[in-house]
A = this chain, B = another copy of it.
Amino acid sequence: MSEFNSQLLDQFFAIIPAGGVGSRLWPLSRASTPKFLHDLTGNGQTLLQDTFDRLEPIAKGRTMVITGNVHAGAVAEQLPDLKSENLILEPSPKDSTAAIALAAAVLFERNPEVIIGSFAADHVILDQAAFEASVLEAIEVASQGNIVTIGVKPTEASAAFGYIQKGKKLKTATAYRVEKFKEKPSISVARKYVESGDYLWNAGMFIAPAKLLLDVLKANEPELHAQISELAKAWGTKDQVSAMATIWPGLKKIAIDYALAEPAAKQGLVAVVPGEFEWHDVGDFASIAELQSQGRKGNLAVLGSAKVLSDSSSGILVSDTNRLVALIGLEDVIVVDTPDALLITTKEHAQKVKSLVDALKQTGHSELL
């Protein structure tokens, strides 16, 4: 990226939509303290802090966070460098389109030339240099009038992620036109995708001129676009509070993939930069266990400050208490110890935690969600 234009970089503004509960990480992740507010790598920082820090070398103070208003205190505490003007609080969850579009529209009001980049608050990326290189390339491709996603080169056939089908190669260094976004496939289809070499994992990263993003929104979801525009115009004025109170509750709940990415791909407006870095969405406790290279007790990964007594047990212990946890003869176990709830399962069943949370909802245990 030697030709990289520093003026272009000044137009960049990072957006971190910090939402989602992470049901598969219950009982650690709760409605009140979702996944992004936790240290799930054992590095001493939360996923949100890691995401903010990862973007900082490029964003240089230009990062906006949009999150639920119940998390205002936690986010402000975890991100002391986040400027208050760059924190948007949602009165209620309205899915990713409303969140990202409002952030983009507010930034567009401040600077019509802004190129925004949206990055999930709860993913793990392990090669900072490769990540930065991909973002810089994505900014450049975006500046040429594209919505750009960074697709992660698959390391295995996974049915847990959506895929991006590459189209023709662009002139720019490593980017491709996006042929199609593919929803989570079956494992056999995933295998074909990966073998073909034509597919990348959809890591939910979008880099685009805010103006282009909002134009595409206007074409596909005109009502939502109008509401978001009205909110953005009121933002930072005396009308902000009343506008949020009247408009926000009526916003359509729709994922950005459906409202923007897929329609834009059909119009040939989306490009993908293949990311050469290690990426994890930390979707369940099994994937957290895989991430742990430190803090192990034999074959047992340990997150948190628990006193642990384990013989040859393997798996992961996540502790939010200071109780002693003693494990004998367990294989691939998952233990999550919190003050009011204890989860015990195995790596094999890690994905089933979500249905357990559903069962809790149905049995009225809302205090534990």
Contact = CB atoms under 8 A, between A and B. Distances in A.
A323 B344 contact: no
A31 interface: no
Nearest to A336: B326
A330 B335 CA distance: 12
B323 A342 contact: yes
Interface in A335-350: 335, 337, 339-346, 348-349
A360 interface: yes
Interface stretch (A14-22, A63-71, A351-359): A351-359
Interface in A1-41: 27
Interface string A312-324: 0000000000011
A307 to B, nearest CB: 8
Contacts of A27: 324, 326
A311 interface: yes
A171 interface: no
A339 B328 CA distance: 19
Contacts of A328: 343-346, 349, 352-353, 356
Contacts of A368: 324
8 contacts: A325-B341, A325-B344, A326-B343, A326-B356, A327-B344, A328-B343, A328-B356, A344-B344
Contact of A324 (B329, B333, B365): B365
- Give the interface size class of chain A: 20 to 34
A309 interface: yes
A325 B337 CA distance: 9
A15 to B, nearest CB: 35
Given A323-B339, A329-B348, 9 more contacts: A309-B356, A309-B360, A328-B345, A328-B352, A328-B353, A329-B345, A330-B345, A333-B344, A337-B342
B323 A346 contact: no
Contact of A346 (B330, B337, B341, B363): B330
Contacts of A343: 326-328
A326 B346 contact: no
B309 A330 contact: no
B359 A342 contact: no
A280 to B, nearest CB: 22
Contacts of A329: 345-346, 348-349, 352
A220 to B, nearest CB: 40
Contacts of A339: 323
A274 B283 CA distance: 60
Contacts of A340: 323-324
Nearest to A353: B328
A311 B311 CA distance: 27
Contacts of A341: 323-326
Contacts of A360: 309, 324
A333 B335 CA distance: 13
Nearest to A324: B341
A360 to B, nearest CB: 7
A27 B323 CA distance: 11
A120 to B, nearest CB: 26
Contacts of A342: 323-326, 335, 337, 342
Interface string A201-242: 000000000000000000000000000000000000000000
Contacts of A330: 344-346
A362 to B, nearest CB: 11
